[in-house]
Structure 1
Amino acid sequence: MKFLALIAVLSPFLGWCQIGGQSGYQSLNLTSNPRAAALGGTTISLADGDISQFFENPATLDSVETSNIFFHFNPYFADVFVYSGAYTFNLKNMGTFASGINYINYGAFNLTDETGNQLGEFRAQDYTITLGKAHQVGPFTLGANLKLAHSSIESYGSTAILMDIGGVFRINKNWTAAMVFENIGGRISEYSAFSSPTIPFDVKLGTTFKPQYMPLRFTLTSNSLTEENSEEEETSGGRSTGAIDRVWKRINIGAELLLSDNFHVLIGYNHKRKQELRLEDTGGGAGLSYGLMVKVKRIELRFSRATYHAAGGSSFISLRTDLNDFKKIL
């Protein structure tokens, strides 16, 4: 068991395939909750009762109670808005499930003909509907998400059926390791006969560790570990300076300062984001992220901010509670 945990911790440093590749359905790669956003963009090993984490790893559902509800709002860039919601429920003789939706509204665009004459407007949007389930076997938990993903632009649309398969290994009460195979599946319809967007399949590894006598919890998550994502850095003039830099571009680092049960401060760093979006002469804070968690009467509020470029960043806001507790408050 300890050997498997050690592999999970060291694996981010062992995957030497480069990042990149062209694919469709890039909305599947957007951060779905403020906690992950504050910890570098993604985190798969936090299994502490937070329903929003099931978007990142379905195996974390074993720690989530029924009737948990979660709402998330992210004003992204250029009038793009991202919304997420999730709820846990119990089915008789089948246990606890989670359902969720991620919706991205890209806004309105000018519709023109081939000569540039404006004919009106069109809209673009993506959504993903998710159903998740987890099962615990000793210190191991396995989970799966079944996802229906749809992307539409004007009158064109593409739909895919996908699955995430994840696992969490609890080494002890303060240390977990996790692995996720993300977006397994394929398209069931295309935008057109001439367009076949690929699915952004990925493999992620992560670990979370809290020193016993410290009010800190550290999270390390690696992503883009598939060889399918191997060409972009060679063809796009990426800023890699060597093997060490290429490794760090696949690792997100985050930490939570646990000041009390009702107040946490979070900070994270995404090296890939910094390298790809920094200016030539300055980083401008690109790659850094931070956030707060405040709990008031069992209603958990989160706010996070991720800096993408010297020109600015993106904010993430969420609310999470248990409907049974909410009824007691009322």
Structure 2
Amino acid sequence: MAIINRGCRFLGMRGIKYVFSFMSLLCVRHAGAQVTGGQFAMEFLRLSTSPHTSALGGISVANPDNDISLVAQNPAMMRPGLHNQLSLNYNSFYGDINIMNLQYGYHVPDINTSFFGGVQYLNYGSFFETDNTGNINGDFHAVDYSVTVGASRTYLEHWRYGAAIKWAGSALYQSSATALLVDIGVNYFDTATLWDFGATAKNMGSMVKKYDKTNGAEPLPFDLQIGISKKFKHMPLRIFTTIHHLYEWDVRYDNPTDNISTNILGTTDSSKLNETHFADKLFRHFIFGAELALGKHLLITGSYNYLHRKELAISTKTGAAGFAFGVGIDLNKFQIHYARNYYHIAGAYNEIGLNFAMNKLLSIGKANGKKLWKAEYPDWN
């Protein structure tokens, strides 16, 4: 055990530097990458894995709330305070797609390491298999899934660093694929000033089995994200700013109508060709959110995702595209989270989640008469 502890302390001293150096390298490596929809395998890995995250715009890498589901966004968010917490989430997504997520955390004080695991499952339903004349020859199902295990450790007083390994799989008609991926992250939380900073590199890895062996590269949906949040001491409010796709400046959809339009005389006007769209390109990387705590048991959340609004709103009517709202209720032994996310004017999707304090509900996590629940450990270190 002494050898393990010495090794963990060595990783703690070097880990933060290694993580930041690696993230900087990733920015350079992917600087020329093209962010275009439909060009990546395992795109489902970009989806939010909980209503709490969905209510914050789909990404939340700097959120110190007592919610185990948030560790799927940044492995460094796992900490002793989330020990023995279980999260179950259900998402009634568009097109009758059913999405289920599970997260569980456990802290091991002997080596001062917090572990977690998770499962993501998407069921696209049953489809008819037909020939070119419409005759039904049978049916088939389509599913995507991922299984994650990870761990995090503390460094100095305010820092944590973590990593997670993901096995992702997909079965779509007669094609199937698998991939092995890694997430790494760091988090800084100051309990005095209530500032939180997080950074994570997601979905690094390669395909183990391609959908089609004759295909060339099937890139995975890598992303580099940072986030910052601040809770006010004398106000029950926390504000969030998240920046995504840090490795690529221009993530605008290449829409020809943005450059050429038709004037009232019916002729084409190409004057927009030389526009730089600087502000538009900049804010497509940003998500803004806020959480308002009403007492000790109720949390109201709202967010605005500029990229979602610009990509999914239509020119004649934008509606609430890009906005998301949520509510959380903390009842001590369990939490209830609900989110409503507006992607498009066609409608919103609803998501619900339950977090359970397993020790308090089922007496799980006791050893030799000693309770191994979060009250036995500091929340952060």
The verdict on a shared fold, with TM-score over 0.5 as the criterion, is: yes
Counterpart among 229, 238, 244 of residue 208 in structure 1: 229
267-276 vs 241-250, which moves further: 241-250
Deviations 1:212-260 (A, max 9, x none): 211100011111122398584467969x981111111111111000112
Deviation at 1:111, TM superposition (A): 1.1
Counterpart among 329, 335, 345 of residue 294 in structure 1: 329
Counterpart among 189, 193, 196 of residue 213 in structure 2: 193
Deviation at 1:76, TM superposition (A): 0.1
54-63 vs 169-178, which moves further: 169-178
- In the aligned structure 2, how far is the partner of 1:265 from the partner of 1:198? 37
Residue in 2 that maps onto 1:61:
78
Q: Which has the higher helix share?
A: 2
- In the aligned structure 2, how far is the partner of 1:190 from the partner of 1:93? 41
- The 3 A distance-change label for structure 1 pair 171 and 234 is farther
- Aligned to 2:96, the other structure's residue is in SS state coil
Deviations 1:169-216 (A, max 9, x none): 124541011100001110111112234531011100100101221110
- Aligned to 2:140, the other structure's residue is in SS state strand
Residue in 1 that maps onto 2:151:
133
Opposite residue 116 of structure 2, the aligned amino acid is A
Residue in 2 that maps onto 1:321:
356
Percent of residue pairs identical: 28
- In the aligned structure 1, how far is the partner of 2:175 from the partner of 2:350? 30
Residue in 2 that maps onto 1:242:
277
Please identify the structure whose Cα radius of gyration is greater. Answer: 2
Deviation at 1:298, TM superposition (A): 2.4
Aligned partners of 1:50 and 1:64 also within 8 Å: no
Residue in 1 that maps onto 2:373:
none
- The 3 A distance-change label for structure 1 pair 134 and 300 is same
Aligned partners of 1:48 and 1:63 also within 8 Å: no
Residue in 2 that maps onto 1:146:
165
Q: How many residues matched? A: 316
Residue in 2 that maps onto 1:122:
140
Q: How does 1:1-330 map to 2 (within 5 A)?
A: 19-20=35-36, 22-90=39-107, 93-94=110-111, 95-138=113-156, 139-173=158-192, 174-195=194-215, 196-227=217-248, 232-233=253-254, 242-327=277-362
Aligned partners of 2:123 and 2:143 also within 8 Å: yes
Aligned partners of 1:71 and 1:86 also within 8 Å: yes
115-124 vs 200-209, which moves further: 115-124
Opposite residue 189 of structure 1, the aligned amino acid is K
- Please tell me the root mean square deviation across aligned C-alpha atoms, in Å: 2.7
- In the aligned structure 1, how far is the partner of 2:311 from the partner of 2:362? 47
Aligned partners of 1:202 and 1:223 also within 8 Å: yes
Deviations 1:269-290 (A, max 9, x none): 0111111111212211101110
Q: Which has the higher strand share?
A: 1
- The 3 A distance-change label for structure 1 pair 245 and 232 is closer
Aligned partners of 1:51 and 1:64 also within 8 Å: no
- In the aligned structure 1, how far is the partner of 2:138 from the partner of 2:33? 45
Which ranges of structure 1 fall in alignment gaps of 5 or more residues?
Answer: 5-10
- Aligned to 1:265, the other structure's residue is in SS state strand
- The 3 A distance-change label for structure 1 pair 273 and 146 is same
Deviation at 1:96, TM superposition (A): 2.8
- Aligned to 2:66, the other structure's residue is in SS state coil
Opposite residue 220 of structure 1, the aligned amino acid is T
Aligned partners of 1:252 and 1:268 also within 8 Å: yes
Deviation at 1:97, TM superposition (A): 1.0
Residue in 2 that maps onto 1:8:
none
Opposite residue 81 of structure 1, the aligned amino acid is N
- The 3 A distance-change label for structure 1 pair 185 and 16 is closer
97-106 vs 292-301, which moves further: 292-301
- In the aligned structure 2, how far is the partner of 1:102 from the partner of 1:241? 39
- In the aligned structure 2, how far is the partner of 1:217 from the partner of 1:178? 15
